[in-house]
């Protein structure tokens, strides 16, 4: 049976939705290379590798041992431990799975935006243009370096689409299609987007045209919020238990507003990635990021925020056409609110939310909110296309405006070419010690991207003025928009060979040879390299050389790729207690590092002035030296207790000159409990019977009553038994675990279980089952209703 025209159109849209991102990212799609960046190397590859290893052995990971003495895995939201896409890490090689999930995220972003735009009344061409503009804008291309935020940005349009359908006509099936994507936003690993999405459900309800519609929609939005929370319980409950004990990610407003979107970068929305080195596709100057844009992190959050000049032109057409419509002001006001929030420290609003809303203090990096602004702008682009298609007068005004914008871009190009207006005049004046080569590539970028904008605008004007067929006009405008996005942003994502993440460098090889896996965990390592400049490796790109240097320097959490534990806390669920005993790298290494089983450190070869006898290896080409700490305590040992009333007083005792590491342990215990003075002679022996992330079993032969110290992080989900009987597990040396043991031979078992895990799993699965049953029941009733 031949297909109808409508079916053919739908198939064409689906094919475009799949093929466009694959072609856009052709360097990754059609090669063995994978998407790679510092965050992929330091966070996602180690986390996903760990997840796949554990689950493939039919063990679900509750604890992650490779960062900062260990931390909860499921409570660390960025682990994405429950996202269904994780199944690909079991079915495919890890690098390939990462690439497939990244590419599918762009397909998902395009599809969700298209469906939402269609639901809001746009035609297929306009909706597709909105989808292209959002899914392939500079931010989305640049955030390929941070997988969880890409996945969340690709998922929330689906949650909004499902919510809009439910608000219009509630049913069990529509509730599921809204609540499940909403839950997936959190399961991607982004709690801030989850919170924002819940707020947007209420905003959608408030956007109803009449008061009566609004009063009906608000309870429906509340139902979706409750359903989303119940489905997300499996992740929410562990996350809330971690918040109480983890070191704060945004403990101060300054930390919370790092990676604020700078007002100067608003130019990128129109022109493209002005501040990116075209040779490497990344900002190559920490000074530029910190001194000019005040990122506080030595880099920019994403390399580009480009929306495109054609998109900007159509967006202005939409605003002009619908200027008097109340919905225009509401949506524009919401977009402006998100833009103001992304500016972070540059405007006071983000700071007010930080002070007034306790939940908001858990969030950081305002630039993460940029996708919501860009999503609303993309919808405006589609509305602008419909406006110029529908009204000849609007098309003429848009053409005239396009010519004006082209003239302005040309003036900018000429001003930069003749007088270096932006590079020297603006950037150079804001920079205390401008780096000439950075100003030079900014200068070149401004000229190149400005003339590109002129060309795109003139092509758009030519289409608006010279093409009469609406379908052809829409297709050509979409082509100009997609082409300008590709030319400006395609080089800003990074790919490299997967073996880069699997091949150990010389420092790692040295550690693996010196410390074979005995089943009791290897000693911890720390990356203490300061001011290391990535070496130039023959035959390797600068970007790949930087990654090799990261691995050689033992930067967290790269050691986890080889089952080595990094003492440097990097991931967000690091124990707050561990933060109390952290000092500067050198002081910590000499005074405290050995106390917590940290035996090796990487340092800069050029600046190393320590004892040559401590050097055990390194990498001459990459400029890294590996040194050993001779005063490292075992992972588990016996010591005499010094009682402290709380963690603060325990820290003072631990760092005091009278404290004797290895002979004494600071135990947080009631003052009435006995404290033992250090005595001469052996206190006993400790041997490991089993060492697994959530289960540690030891045999203790104690000569006298003492404390068994296990140098792994203390968290409330841990419990202990002594010879099969539960015993108190106390914080030892502020950050690790301690158990009092009597004289004699005993078995001590430490066990970790995510607090509330079973209840939260039951809530999420029960809610999902009820939604499925309700949806099935509603579908079974539908034929009867129709026949009646």
For 335-388, write each residue's pLDDT tens digit. Answer: 999 999 999 999 999 999 999 988 888 899 999 999 999 999 999 999 999 999
DSSP-H helix ranges across 25-80: 26-29, 38-39, 45-56
* Whole-number pLDDT of residue 58: 94
For the packed helices 470-489 and 436-466, what is the interaxial angle rounded to 10 degrees? Answer: 170
**Among all chains, which residue has been given the structure tokens 């040396």?**
733
With a pLDDT cut of 70, the percent of the chain lying above it is 95
Mean pLDDT of 223-248: 93
Query: What does the pLDDT look like over 357-371, one tens digit per residue?
Result: 888 888 999 999 999
Mean pLDDT of 24-48: 90
DSSP for 187-246 reads HHT-HHHHHHHHHHHHHHHHT-SSHHHHHHHHHHHHHHHHHHHHHTHHHHHHHHHHHTTB
* Whole-number pLDDT of residue 785: 45
Q: Does 587 score more than 90 pLDDT?
A: no
* Whole-number pLDDT of residue 719: 96
* Whole-number pLDDT of residue 3: 65
Mean pLDDT of 313-325: 93
Mean pLDDT of 73-96: 95
pLDDT band at 139 (very low <50, low <70, confident <90, very high): very high
Longest Cα–Cα distance of the chain, Å, equals: 97
H/E/C letters for each residue in 633-655? CCCEEEEEEEEECCHHHHHHHHC
Which DSSP symbol is given to 288? I
* Whole-number pLDDT of residue 16: 80
pLDDT band at 584 (very low <50, low <70, confident <90, very high): low
**d(C-alpha 531, C-alpha 549), whole Å:** 12
Q: Does 218 score more than 90 pLDDT?
A: yes
Query: What does the pLDDT look like over 92-134, one tens digit per residue?
Result: 999 999 999 999 999 999 999 999 999 999 999 999 999 999 9
Token pair in block for residue 181:
């994507």
Q: Does 216 score more than 90 pLDDT?
A: yes
Number of residues that this document lists for the chain:
788
Token pair in block for residue 709:
């110290």
**Among all chains, which residue has been given the structure tokens 């968290």?**
715
∠ CA 109-339-307, nearest 5°, is 50
Residue 524 CB neighbour total at 10 angstroms: 27
pLDDT band at 676 (very low <50, low <70, confident <90, very high): low
Q: Does 671 score more than 70 pLDDT?
A: no
* Whole-number pLDDT of residue 784: 47
**Among all chains, which residue has been given the structure tokens 């007083």?**
649
Q: Does 626 score more than 70 pLDDT?
A: yes
Residue 142's DSSP bridge partners are none
**d(C-alpha 510, C-alpha 617), whole Å:** 6
**d(C-alpha 182, C-alpha 193), whole Å:** 9
Query: What does the pLDDT look like over 154-188, one tens digit per residue?
Result: 999 999 999 999 999 999 999 999 999 999 999 99
Q: Are 452 and 484 in contact (CB under 8 A)?
A: yes
Checking DSSP bridges between strand 615-619 and strand 624-628, what pairing results, if any? Answer: antiparallel
| Average pLDDT for the chain | 90
* Whole-number pLDDT of residue 610: 81
* Whole-number pLDDT of residue 783: 57
How far is C-alpha 785 from the geometric centre of its chain's CA atoms?
47
* Whole-number pLDDT of residue 631: 87
Query: What does the pLDDT look like over 258-302, one tens digit per residue?
Result: 999 999 999 999 999 999 888 766 666 788 998 999 888 888 999
* Whole-number pLDDT of residue 678: 59
Residue 644's DSSP bridge partners are 668
pLDDT band at 522 (very low <50, low <70, confident <90, very high): confident
pLDDT band at 310 (very low <50, low <70, confident <90, very high): very high
Token pair in block for residue 111:
């599809």
* Whole-number pLDDT of residue 751: 97
Q: Does 672 score more than 60 pLDDT?
A: no
With a pLDDT cut of 90, the percent of the chain lying above it is 69
Nearest-Å Rg of the Cα atoms of the chain is 29
> Is residue 747 reached through a cis peptide bond, with omega within 30 degrees of 0 on the bond before it?
no
**Nearest alpha carbon to residue 523 among 421, 617, 634:** 634
pLDDT band at 513 (very low <50, low <70, confident <90, very high): very high
Token pair in block for residue 410:
């040309």
**d(C-alpha 553, C-alpha 570), whole Å:** 15
* Whole-number pLDDT of residue 96: 93
> Mean pLDDT lowest for which of 42-51, 641-650, 744-753?
641-650
Token pair in block for residue 214:
């609004």
* Whole-number pLDDT of residue 786: 44
Q: Does 53 score more than 70 pLDDT?
A: yes
Q: Does 250 score more than 90 pLDDT?
A: no
Mean pLDDT of 636-640: 95
Query: What does the pLDDT look like over 418-474, one tens digit per residue?
Result: 999 999 999 999 998 999 999 999 999 999 999 999 999 999 999 999 999 999 999
Look at phi and psi of residue 365 and say left if phi exceeds 0, alpha if psi is from -120 to 50, else beta.
left
């Amino acid at each position: 049976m031949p297909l109808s025209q409508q079916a053919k159109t739908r198939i064409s849209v689906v094919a475009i939705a799949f093929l466009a991102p694959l072609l856009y990212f052709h360097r990754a799609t059609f090669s063995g290379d994978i998407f790679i960046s510092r965050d992929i190397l330091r966070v996602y590859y180690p986390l996903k590798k760990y997840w796949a290893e554990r689950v493939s052995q039919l063990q679900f990971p509750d604890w992650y041992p490779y960062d900062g003495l260990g931390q909860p895995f499921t409570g660390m939201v960025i682990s994405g431990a429950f996202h269904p896409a994780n199944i690909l890490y079991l079915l495919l090689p890890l690098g390939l799975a990462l690439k497939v999930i990244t590419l599918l995220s762009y397909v998902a972003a395009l599809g969700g935006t298209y469906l939402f735009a269609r639901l809001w009344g746009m035609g297929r061409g306009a909706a597709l243009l909105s989808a292209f503009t959002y899914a392939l804008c500079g931010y989305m291309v640049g955030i390929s370096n941070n997988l969880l935020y890409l996945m969340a940005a690709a998922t929330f349009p689906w949650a909004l689409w499902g919510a809009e359908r439910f608000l219009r006509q509630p049913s069990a099936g529509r509730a599921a299609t809204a609540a499940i994507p909403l839950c997936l936003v959190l399961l991607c690993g982004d709690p801030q987007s989850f919170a924002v999405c819940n707020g947007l459900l209420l905003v959608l309800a408030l956007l109803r045209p009449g008061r009566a519609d609004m009063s009906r929609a608000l309870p429906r939005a509340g139902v979706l919020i409750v359903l989303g929370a119940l489905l997300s319980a499996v992740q929410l409950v562990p996350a809330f238990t971690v918040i109480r004990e983890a070191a704060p990610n945004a403990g101060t407003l300054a930390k919370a507003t790092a990676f604020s979107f700078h007002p100067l970068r608003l130019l990128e929305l129109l022109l493209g990635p002005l501040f990116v080195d075209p040779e490497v596709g990344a900002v190559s100057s920490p000074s530029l990021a910190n001194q000019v844009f005040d990122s506080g992190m030595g880099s920019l959050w994403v390399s580009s925020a480009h929306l495109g000049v054609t998109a900007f032109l159509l967006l202005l057409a939409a605003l002009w056409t619908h200027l008097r419509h109340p919905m225009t002001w509401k949506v524009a006001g919401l977009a402006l609110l998100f833009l103001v929030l992304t500016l972070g420290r540059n405007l006071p609003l983000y700071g007010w939310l930080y002070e007034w809303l306790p939940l908001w203090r858990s969030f950081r990096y305002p630039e993460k909110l940029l996708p919501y602004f860009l999503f609303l702008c993309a919808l405006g682009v589609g509305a602008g296309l419909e406006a110029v298609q529908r009204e000849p007068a609007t098309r003429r005004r848009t053409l005239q405006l396009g010519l004006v914008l082209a003239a302005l871009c040309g003036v900018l190009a000429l001003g930069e070419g003749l007088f270096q207006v932006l590079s020297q005049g603006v950037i150079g004046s804001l920079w205390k010690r401008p780096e000439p080569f950075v100003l030079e590539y900014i200068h070149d970028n401004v000229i190149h991207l400005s003339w590109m904008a002129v060309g795109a605008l003139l092509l758009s004007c030519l289409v608006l003025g010279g093409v009469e067929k609406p379908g052809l006009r829409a297709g050509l405008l979409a082509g100009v928009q997609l082409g300008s996005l590709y030319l400006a942003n395609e080089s800003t994502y990074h790919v490299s060979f997967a073996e880069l993440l699997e091949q150990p460098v010389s420092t790692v090889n040295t550690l693996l040879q010196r410390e074979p896996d005995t089943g009791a965990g290897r000693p911890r390592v720390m990356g203490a390299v300061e001011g290391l400049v990535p070496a130039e490796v023959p035959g390797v790109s600068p970007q790949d050389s930087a990654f090799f240097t990261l691995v050689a320097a033992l930067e967290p959490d790269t050691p986890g790729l080889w089952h080595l534990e990094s003492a440097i806390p990097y991931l967000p669920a690091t124990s707050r207690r561990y933060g109390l005993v952290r000092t500067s790298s050198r002081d910590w290494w000499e005074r405290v590092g050995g106390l917590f089983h940290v035996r090796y450190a990487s340092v800069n070869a050029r600046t190393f002035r320590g004892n040559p006898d401590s050097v055990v290896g390194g990498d001459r080409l990459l400029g890294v030296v590996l040194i050993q700490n001779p005063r490292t305590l075992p992972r588990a040992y016996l010591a005499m207790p010094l009682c402290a009333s709380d963690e603060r007083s325990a820290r003072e005792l631990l760092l005091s000159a009278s404290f004797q590491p290895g002979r004494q342990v600071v135990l947080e215990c009631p003052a009435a409990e006995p404290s033992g003075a250090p005595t001469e002679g052996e206190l006993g022996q400790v041997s490991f019977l089993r060492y697994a992330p959530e289960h540690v079993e030891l045999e203790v032969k104690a000569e006298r009553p003492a404390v068994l110290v296990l140098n792994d992080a203390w968290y409330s989900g841990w419990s202990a038994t002594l010879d099969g009987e539960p015993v108190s597990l106390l914080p030892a040396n502020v950050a690790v675990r301690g158990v009092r043991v009597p004289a004699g031979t005993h078995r001590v078992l430490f066990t970790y279980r995510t607090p509330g895990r079973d209840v939260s799993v039951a809530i999420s699965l029960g809610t999902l089952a009820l939604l499925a049953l309700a949806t099935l029941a509603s579908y079974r009733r539908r034929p009867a209703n129709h026949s009646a």
